[in-house]
A = this chain, B = another copy of it.
Amino acid sequence: MNLSNLTDIYSRELFDRVIPFWEKHSVDRVNGGFFNCLDADGALYDTKKYMWLNGRQTWMFSKLYNSVEQRPEWLEIARLGATFLRSKARRDDNRVYFSMTQEGKPLQLQRKIFSECFYIMALAEYSRASGDASAMQEAKNMLELVWEWSSDLSKVGRPSYEGETPAQSLAIPMILLNLIEEVAGENKDEYRSEVDECIRRMLLHVHPADKTVYELVTPDGGFIDSIEGRLLNPGHAIEAGWFLQHWAQHLKRDDLSRTAIDMVRWSYERGWDKEKGGIYYFLDSKGYSPTPLEWDMKLWWPHCEALYAHLLNYSITGDEYDKNAFLQVHEYAFSHFSDPEHGEWFGYLNRNGEVTHRFKGGPYKGCFHVPRALWLVWNKLKEIK
């Protein structure tokens, strides 16, 4: 297959099928913010609002406005998201709620930093779209706080217990590295020492001898032989790979670029279901049954991450291996997740590739992974061509 033929396919999928779904069904023009629980056809099945997803959608519409076309309706949607977040979702102590009622009354707060991370991402990109400098300042101040919290989660209320094995999670340095990319924009050197620290911590999870990227390791990178230490999340490791690759390119570090390529390839090779196709959600590094009940399901977002990660690798290596991996995921994703009838993608398939959940939006699926991947791939395809 010729990659150049795909540019139009990605453009149509993004602008004709995915973005219109969210424009039409998710926007709450009364209270601001976005509804997230949208059935196959966009019908609302729960009025709760999830702040991870409200932040991510605000980011996405700001990004489209900034990088594709300055459509006033995109800026207005971003504004509705940013205003809801800033006026409702952030508490006096700077914690951001996980979920809220449609009017913006609090429902749940997590003992994690991710609501804050997506809040920061939203405000940084929205500031560029709207020209509202106070949003960027707020994003930078929050990033400083989250940086502090991230190395001591007791600051967001997470208890610790005597028997725990000291451990660090890949999710933390990885999301901070991506956040810095988003907040810094063109001024990438502003956060140089923080970037170095994120990269140092991410590399502790990469074990070349096992060709494995572990989600949880000891603070010096050691393997933890437990349910949690052996748990692999191939889609997450693939995402970490392209986050790292962006910095490897900026820093012009070939060693890091090589590692980022390996992270994607190893995780894909292990995560791809050779019998049924698609990328497993979880695996156990020693081959035990992973304990999450959904381990063998095929979720939309690991496939979104893999699409862009493989194509990014191909744009660097020119290696047919990466191109073929991209095409393999492309075939699977477009034939299984895409919904030509109502737009957006289905999110959840069983191991055999059958849709198990008909909704397009839910507590953890919003306007983010699909349009971000389509936009990144579309841009990269144009570049390669």
CB of A289 within 8 A of CB of B163, answer no
Chain B residues contacting A163 (CB-CB under 8 Å) are 100-101, 103, 105-107
Chain A residues 118 to 163 lying within 8 A of chain B, measured CB to CB, are: 159, 161-163
Chain B residues contacting A47 (CB-CB under 8 Å) are 226
Q: Which of B103, B106, B294 makes the CB contact (< 8 A) with A294?
A: B294
Interface residues on A, range: 35 or more
Please measure, in the bound complex, the distance between the C-alpha atom of A341 and the C-alpha atom of B294, giving whole angstroms. 26
Please measure, in the bound complex, the distance between the C-alpha atom of A109 and the C-alpha atom of B159, giving whole angstroms. 9
Chain B residues contacting A159 (CB-CB under 8 Å) are 109
Please measure, in the bound complex, the distance between the C-alpha atom of A297 and the C-alpha atom of B293, giving whole angstroms. 9
Q: A107-B164, A226-B48 are in contact. Are A293 and B348 (CB under 8 A)?
A: yes
CB of A363 within 8 A of CB of B161, answer no
Chain B residues contacting A290 (CB-CB under 8 Å) are 357
Does A359 touch B at the CB level, under 8 Å?
yes
Q: A37-B227, A356-B296 are in contact. Are A291 and B363 (CB under 8 A)?
A: yes
Q: Which residue of B lies closest to A106 (CB)?
A: B161
Q: Which residue of B lies closest to A105 (CB)?
A: B163
Q: Which residue of B lies closest to A162 (CB)?
A: B105
CB distance from A290 to the nearest CB of B (A): 8
Does A8 touch B at the CB level, under 8 Å?
no
Q: A297-B293, A350-B351, A351-B350 are in contact. Are A359 and B105 (CB under 8 A)?
A: no
Chain B residues contacting A351 (CB-CB under 8 Å) are 350, 356
